[in-house]
């Protein structure tokens, strides 16, 4: 049996800079990343792909906000924004994959699964929303929004205005896991759990309900890798390695570290909460639930990293 690898593509890595944010720019970035993913497939690995969607959801929300402010149109629910990006980015990843398969005369097939991820209805984040999303608003705009959306939590960012804050609950179950497993067994390269998955909670009667929340992409990818019993989790990001003292004159790239060392570096404050810390936490969670190893690196180094020649590898 081929070894199964889950590859998590960062949403920010699909937008290289403020001058390259269009849909065409994102597709070009996806094609570059997919080229390196197919290198791994060509080496005999089975691959499942997840992806981030932070900037892309931000664009949808911004369009929705502009439509609200100028035409009075309704806001797009956040759960629907996640579903929209799963479809749009999944389409681009599928197309890039199939075109690359054709160039290399490979017979693989690909499919995207619109994926719901169950979270606990009692997750503490629902009582204390703290994940900022969307645009900044001034005093007058926020008064109108509070009137129209009394259920929103709004936080003030000193000097920049107000932003909406939403919960970021812990993922507990991937609803479509059975379908994903079936597709893998049928030979498909599956794209799933985009943007951390569409957040849903289970009601008392057993039905599911979409929630306005943001699930961390890396944690959801870790859960996906765990439930699929993947050999390895690859987290593709904007840097080649995890660093100690990142951005400082004495920064040091990490090559191979143990879970124990990773926890020590976390305690010493080396990993920023908004960037590397969630990736490290997701890596440790995967390994502690039976995964063999996690690699964190940039897209162009994925193949070399799998061979042990690049990136940061965290092992049990």
Catalytic positions: 11-12, 131, 217, 279
Within 8 A by CB and 6+ apart from 163, the residues are: 132, 133, 134, 135, 136, 137, 154, 155, 157
Q: Are 271 and 265 in contact (CB under 8 A)?
A: yes
Q: Rounded distance, CA 250 to CA 136, Å? A: 35
Beta strand residue intervals within 177-269, DSSP E = 188-191, 198-202, 208-210, 232-236, 242-244, 252-254, 256-258
Q: Rounded distance, CA 214 to CA 208, Å? A: 17
H or E, element range at 316: none
- SS3 at position 242: strand
In DSSP terms, 297 is beta-bridged to 236
Q: Rounded distance, CA 77 to CA 53, Å? A: 15
């Amino acid at each position: 049996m081929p070894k199964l690898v889950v590859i998590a593509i960062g949403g920010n890595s699909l937008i290289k800079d403020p001058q390259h944010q269009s849909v065409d720019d994102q597709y070009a970035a996806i094609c570059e990343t997919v080229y390196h993913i197919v290198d791994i497939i060509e080496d005999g690995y089975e691959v499942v792909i997840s992806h981030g969607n932070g900037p892309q959801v931000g664009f949808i929300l911004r369009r929705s906000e502009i439509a609200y402010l100028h035409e009075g149109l309704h806001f797009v629910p956040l759960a629907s924004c996640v579903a929209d990006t799963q479809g749009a980015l999944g389409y681009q990843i599928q197309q890039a994959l199939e075109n690359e398969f054709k160039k290399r005369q490979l017979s693989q097939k690909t499919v995207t699964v619109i994926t719901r991820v169950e979270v606990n209805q009692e997750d503490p984040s629902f009582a204390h929303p703290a994940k900022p999303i969307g645009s900044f608003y001034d005093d007058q705009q926020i008064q109108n929004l509070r009137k129209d959306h009394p259920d929103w939590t709004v936080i003030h960012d000193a000097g920049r205005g107000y932003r909406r804050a939403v919960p970021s609950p812990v993922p507990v179950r991937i609803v479509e896991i059975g379908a994903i497993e079936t597709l893998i067994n049928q030979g498909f390269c599956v794209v799933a759990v985009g943007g951390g998955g569409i957040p849903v909670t289970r009601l008392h009667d057993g039905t599911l309900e979409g929630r306005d929340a943001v699930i961390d992409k890396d944690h959801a990818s870790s859960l996906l890798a765990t439930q699929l019993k993947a050999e390895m989790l690859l987290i593709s990001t904007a840097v080649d390695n995890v660093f100690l003292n990142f951005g400082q004159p004495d920064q040091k790239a990490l090559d191979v570290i143990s879970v124990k060392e990773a926890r020590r570096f976390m305690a010493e404050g080396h990993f920023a909460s908004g960037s590397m810390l969630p990736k490290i936490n997701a890596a440790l969670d995967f390994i502690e639930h039976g995964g063999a190893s996690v690699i964190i690196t940039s897209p162009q180094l994925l193949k070399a990293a799998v061979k042990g020649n690049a990136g940061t590898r965290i092992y049990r």
